[in-house]
Amino acid sequence: MQSLILAGGKGTRLRPLTIHTPKPVVPIANRPFLLYQIDLLKRAGIREITLSLSYQPGKIEEILANGEDYGVHIRYAVEASPLGTAGAYKNAQDHLSRTTVVLNGDVFTNLDLAAVIAFHREKKAAATVVLTPVENPSAYGLVETEPDGRVRRFLEKPKPEEITCNTINAGIYVLEPRLLDYIPAGETFSFEYQLFPAILAAGEPFYAWTWEGYWLDIGAPARYLQAHYDLLGGRLASVTVEPPPPPAGGDDRPRVDGLSVIDPSCTLKPGVEIVNSVLGPNCFIDERARIEDSVLWAGTRVGQASTVRRSVICKSGIIGRNSVVEGAVLGDKSSLTDYSIV
């Protein structure tokens, strides 16, 4: 069993987080996001992984290398220009000779992938797509199925009057290598709009497996924050995070709740409060500052008596003294003067 992670997108919807950091390696609780997808594959016994890259591929390769440090073997298929989801699958053909699990590079889930693979084999399917129920299907692509799970049709971003079910394409597939023959080489080609309709028309055995558990597309800042809240709150049963280090002693020692994740290299001055938040490496939080429901990337400094709430501050941000930052997303090296309100 092999896997392909589609990690070539520019992450435009996630800006400013992705201006200097490719979406697949934005940190979630201080770990590159792709490591959670690698963990998902490893739990299903899959260790042969190909990454399909296009945007800033060098930064991703620098972090993951050949995968040895993470107990997997990673190869890379780099697109000169984006080829679409199925085009990226075709572009990686030299690395794919067996049944392949394909993941969109922005899917955060604790899916029982082994169960999906077992279903795929039981049905002798050429393709299996994972579905997940959502409250607002019109923002996604609906997938209609027969009672036995066979896919009936795809309906991309339906109008309200076209909605017939609430199960959407979760961006996770199990595919047999013969499907590569349906995709032209070197051309932009889509799973949803081209390959899947083609294999349905050809009568290939195409099935869907519905996952009722946790699933989130992290592709926008609000959902990026939500992923942290869900992870810290224990909503992903098979995914854990490291507990925070104990604060230094003294009557005015920093107060850190039991949910937050703080890199050991951070400096927390007396009177600091950290609530349901993540602090990356080398953050400096000055006296009496409060960080709540927020994510601070590496090297961020928060000034004395400032408050950061429900916000993301990217690398090397500077928040001046007595400032209030609420509901904001600040890119790398953002700087706020003292007494700012954002």
Does residue 74 lie in a domain region?
A: yes
Does residue 239 lie in a domain region?
A: no
Does residue 96 lie in a domain region?
A: yes
The domain boundary, picked from 165, 199, 232, lies at: 232
Same domain, 103 and 138: yes
**Given this model, what pLDDT does residue 239 score?**
57
Assess whether 23 carries a catalytic annotation.
no
Same domain, 204 and 276: no
Same domain, 211 and 275: no
**Given this model, what pLDDT does residue 332 score?**
92
Does residue 242 lie in a domain region?
A: no
Same domain, 185 and 288: no
Long-range contacts of 293-302 (CB under 8 A, 24+ apart): 293/225, 293/229, 295/27, 295/224, 295/225, 295/228, 297/27, 297/332, 298/263
pLDDT tens, position by position, 291-300: 999 999 999 9
CATH number of the domain at 311, please.
2.160.10.10
**Given this model, what pLDDT does residue 160 score?**
67
Does residue 18 lie in a domain region?
A: yes
The domain boundary, picked from 232, 266, 288, lies at: 232
Same domain, 259 and 225: no
Does residue 244 lie in a domain region?
A: no
pTM of this structure = 0.87
Same domain, 62 and 179: yes
Same domain, 127 and 198: yes
Same domain, 169 and 313: no
Same domain, 56 and 145: yes
Domain with 286, as residue range(s), is: 255-336
Below-50 pLDDT ranges, the chain: none
Same domain, 41 and 100: yes
* Torsion over CA: 273, 33, 208, 83 (sign): positive
Q: What is the count of structural domains for the chain? A: 2
Same domain, 192 and 228: yes
CATH number of the domain at 16, please.
3.90.550.10
Same domain, 117 and 215: yes
From 59, 157, 159, 269, active-site residue: 157
Does residue 33 lie in a domain region?
A: yes
